[in-house]
A = this chain, B = another copy of it.
Amino acid sequence: MNYVVIMAGGSGERFWPLSRMARPKQLLKLTSATSMMIEEAIDRITPIIPLENILIITSQRLQQPIREALPALPAENIIAEPAKRNTAPCLALGAAVIRSRTSDPNACMAVLTADHFIGDAEAFRRDVLAALEFARTEDALVTMGIPPTRPETGYGYIEVSGVRLNESGIEPVKSFKEKPDAATAADYVASGRYLWNSGMFFWSVDALQRAMERYLPDVGAAIAPMTERLPEGLPGGLPGGLPGGLPGGLLSEIFSALPDISIDYGVMERASNVFVIPASFPWDDVGSWDALPRMQAQDDHGNVVQGRVVMVDAKNNVVVNATSREHVLTTVGLEDHVVVITDDATMICPKDRAQDVKKIVNTLRAEGMDHVL
């Protein structure tokens, strides 16, 4: 039995002012005109894994917005973390939920993302099935690596061994590399022996638990007691009918006591049975506004435009008018900028400063303007 766990707790700072604390990136329509990224993520995987096997683990703040965004997904599959922890405790909780729902000793877990661009859903599903199959049969921890297309310094890299084990290209991971400097990134890309770390993982629940027990014993040891406590209800559960919330319950206590550590640092970089499958689909982490031209249609002058916009002599801009009232956004002579306007906030920056939108968010927070965050 295959399950999907999507970690969707993002804070929504990088796409401010469109993203907000209660409407982070995965709830925006950034890669499609009609669907939120999280809708796309679900639609992409359901041809091979049924809705009832798809779990979303998010924050308490986002649980309700995500339930509203995904009415077809069983409400009890949208789970709020009892506390903000890193990815290792989050995935231990996911493992516990799967354990509580199936007696299949070979249950496998695909850890997917809901805030990345995936350009070929068919190829994606092929890779996911190959990774799950390899994980199940080889007792492996499999990560998805993206063949790099530029010397990006914002991602971690995976060094591969060069020994392809099957026709999917799965091979043992030699090492994980932190975000490199520009020169190192260029070397990585030129060598052809590095992949971007996508944050997607595939393993059996058993293999994950054993790896956690070995490398993160506190976390590994929490899976069984959390599984036992799940019938009491998940924190932030639905009132009435479905399992109610027990924010002060035992499960919350167990979870909250876990260390704040990532699955990459805590398990993947230490374990020996780690493999990588090279993605066969176009991928982008949609890290900031300047990523949009890599995945959205552009006009003849390289502009990505949404909403009511009038531009004269514009080149290579990202311009989004998301106001709900009648408001016209105009420019003349604008080049290489991002402009986003909503009813209560406007953000303008050069494209190469798009990753610094969080500095605006920090400033607004410091100035007590939380009503626009």
Q: Give residues in A with beta carbon < 8 Å to B.
A: 17, 310, 312-313, 325-335, 337, 339, 341, 343-350, 352-353, 356-357, 359-360, 363-364, 367, 369, 371-372
- With most chain B CB atoms within 10 A of its CB, the pick from A17, A312, A333 is A333
Taking A332-B349, A349-B331, A356-B332 as contacts, is the C-beta distance between A312 and B363 under 8 angstroms?
A: yes
Q: Which residues of B contact A330 (CB under 8 A)?
A: 17, 345-348, 360, 363-364
**Copies of this chain held together in the complex:** 2
Whole-angstrom distance between the Cβ of A354 and the nearest chain B Cβ: 9
Instruction: Report yes or no: B349 in contact with A334, Cβ–Cβ below 8 A.
Output: yes
Give complex CA distance A355, B329 in Å: 18
Q: Which residues of B contact A310 (CB under 8 A)?
A: 360, 363-364, 367, 369
Q: Which residues of B contact A348 (CB under 8 A)?
A: 329-331, 334, 337, 339, 348
Q: Can you name the residue of chain B whose Cβ is closest to the Cβ of A352?
A: B333
Give complex CA distance A327, B371 in Å: 11
Q: Which of B331, B333, B334, B369 contacts A328 (CB 8 A)?
A: B369
Whole-angstrom distance between the Cβ of A346 and the nearest chain B Cβ: 5
Taking A310-B364, A341-B346 as contacts, is the C-beta distance between A328 and B359 under 8 angstroms?
A: no
Give complex CA distance A17, B334 in Å: 16
Q: Which residues of B contact A367 (CB under 8 A)?
A: 310
